[in-house]
Structure 1
């Protein structure tokens, strides 16, 4: 095969990959499972080109290696397991099959000399790795606080700065860190923020004795019904929401008929009061206690969440 023909196949294949990524972009983002499945596809072509549909696609339509062997394949290319935490691959299988079909299962790539094809496929994987690296390197939330302001203002600044990409994660782990700092002799549970109560068979986000804490950035009827369920079985629910959501939470509590039994507190007040009490008890300044809570927050976040850009730095 001439160099001209080889370059033409490479160029066409690069364009297929580019167009495929565009077609997989949803709400302005390329999902992690799309990047992962793309790497799996090119990994298959490295080992068998052209690839056999029967060997690569299961009867259920799944791409071989994209479930149980996914972490191992990504690890071979230097992508850590944290990249795929809490990611489902259902849509990824469909995307992967489309990519293979558009590449005609590697039929044209098979015409390229083996060594040159191997180099080209690694280049394609490298392009996808860059997308994974960009996600992994996203910067943490950098918060500048005015030491002269009240701790409630500091907590509010953190919540406001996380809007748009927290989805309630910051709020939950901030409350978890506050409880862990306050009750050092207790083991405060640490779950991914989007693991539902029913999935984990728990009464709420945090349970201490008969107290059940529910943390949400946007109170809904669903969370109020969970609080009502707690009350019915003799537990004492506390609903923690951003200050701007307090009024909405109280209206929903009235609608559910539990406004007299349910304690509703803003996250700002809940964390700030703890900062003030601990600083007073331990003869520390407020900012020192805030930093301790943030350190605990970052540790807890890194243990169960994959989006480490939600780690916080306070200055």
Structure 2
């Protein structure tokens, strides 16, 4: 069996993200131990909502055979959107090609190579062009994340970058602030928002919606002051929703571009050299957060002043 068919499958199914890569690696290993033809029904959970047998531990055990210690996906792709269809189509491909044991080993090395490339993927870039305002530079950064998100449906690059940039800024001025991965939901952890500081609950989102507004109302009921940090073109959306629900006067809504720009200018004492230092500190803090709390290294930011 040729690797060309596997590469074509990868491209046609958009297998570029951590969840899909983790899932396909485990499926390939499972299929290699199964009897052909593969019956996709054997890989369905009871409710057919997820692919059976996938886990973070199982994925890592395979990676460690190739001396890869980094965590690819904490849940091993189990909850990745679209993986059910990928599993069924991959089973069909394997049944058609009928790879030998040697072929399966070669295919596994192919997926391992793709995972290594994923870990070494190009970071986002924060422009160091002095002709650009901080607001514009941050806007360009978010556009990069938005573009990558469109190229990889089911991912949340823009939202993750936004939240962890906020985390980076907060951790510089308040090192004790609690930080979580962007995919960690508030409610199961008992948090009122993405960040709880004093009597304030900070929510980070690229798309304010009714559910978030209801969460802000619960914050108010519990004696907290809610703040929403979003992208510039969604600020009005948040205000309009809050006004419709009758609590706009008890809410703060900030755009991430101004939130960061104000901080950099103030703490940089409105000096060009100190602004560069502040941006360097912000990016350093952000990258440390990505390395600690996220599993996708392509979320890192490159900045050279």
TM-score band (shorter)? 0.7 to 0.9
Cα offset, 1:85, TM superposition:
3.3
Name 1:231's counterpart in structure 2. Answer: 220
Deviations 1:290-315 (A, max 9, x none): 11011101111121112221211123
Cα offset, 1:35, TM superposition:
3.9
Instruction: Count the aligned residue pairs.
Output: 289
| Cα distance change, pair 262–93 in 1 and its aligned pair in 2 (3 A) | closer
| Cα distance change, pair 172–129 in 1 and its aligned pair in 2 (3 A) | same
Q: Larger C-alpha radius of gyration, 1 or 2?
A: 1
Alignment gaps of 5+ in structure 1: 1-9, 110-116
Local SS of the residue matching 2:202: strand
Name 1:131's counterpart in structure 2. Answer: 114
Taking the aligned partners of 2:270 and 2:111, their CA distance within structure 1 comes to 52
Cα offset, 1:174, TM superposition:
0.6
CA RMSD of aligned residues (A): 3.6
Deviations 1:212-245 (A, max 9, x none): 1111112112212111111111111111112222
Taking the aligned partners of 2:94 and 2:145, their CA distance within structure 1 comes to 41
Cα offset, 1:60, TM superposition:
4.7
Counterpart of 1:174 (choices 165, 169, 175) is: 165
Taking the aligned partners of 2:65 and 2:282, their CA distance within structure 1 comes to 37
Taking the aligned partners of 1:50 and 1:128, their CA distance within structure 2 comes to 21
Taking the aligned partners of 2:213 and 2:56, their CA distance within structure 1 comes to 36
Check the 8 A contact 2:25/2:59 in 1, yes or no. no
| Cα distance change, pair 86–37 in 1 and its aligned pair in 2 (3 A) | closer
Name 2:290's counterpart in structure 1. Answer: 301
Counterpart of 1:207 (choices 170, 192, 196) is: 196
Check the 8 A contact 1:79/1:129 in 2, yes or no. no
Taking the aligned partners of 1:69 and 1:87, their CA distance within structure 2 comes to 7
Deviations 1:23-79 (A, max 9, x none): 7x1xx4455455444444554576x5758989xx58957655756433112221344
Alignment gaps of 5+ in structure 2: 150-156
| Cα distance change, pair 32–209 in 1 and its aligned pair in 2 (3 A) | closer
Taking the aligned partners of 2:210 and 2:84, their CA distance within structure 1 comes to 35
Name 1:159's counterpart in structure 2. Answer: 142
